[in-house]
Amino acid sequence: MKLCVSMFNTDYSIRIEDLAREAEAWGFESLWVPEHTHIPKSRKSPWPGGPNLPNRYPRCYNLRIGSEARPRGRQVALAA
């Protein structure tokens, strides 16, 4: 069975390259991270979880930053 690691990375969580190294060292098959590059300024369409958008969404890593932080020599597959 192949297992993966999934993490909602922000600027205050573990560095993505450190997490990738640890995941590989522990034998995980892949590392999945979300991205939220477009957060609406208007709150006309409220977030379903309540009136305030959690702080992690606007502080989420940009997809390009996350993919460039990979360990040297490793491939990055971007899933749409």
Q: What is the pLDDT of residues 26-77, one digit of tens each?
A: 988 888 877 766 777 777 777 788 778 887 777 777 666 555 555 555 555 5
Q: Are 64 and 78 in contact (CB under 8 A)?
A: no
Q: Which pLDDT belongs to residue 33?
A: 79
CB atoms within 10 A of CB 39: 10
Domain count, the chain: 1
Residue 78 has pLDDT above 70, yes or no: no
Residue 80: CA count within 13 A, CB half-sphere? 0
DSSP code of residue 71: P
Which amino acid makes up residue 34?
Answer: P
Q: Which one, of 15, 33, 47, 29, lies nearest residue 78 by Cα?
A: 33
Q: Which pLDDT belongs to residue 80?
A: 45
**Which residues span the domain enclosing 15?**
1-80
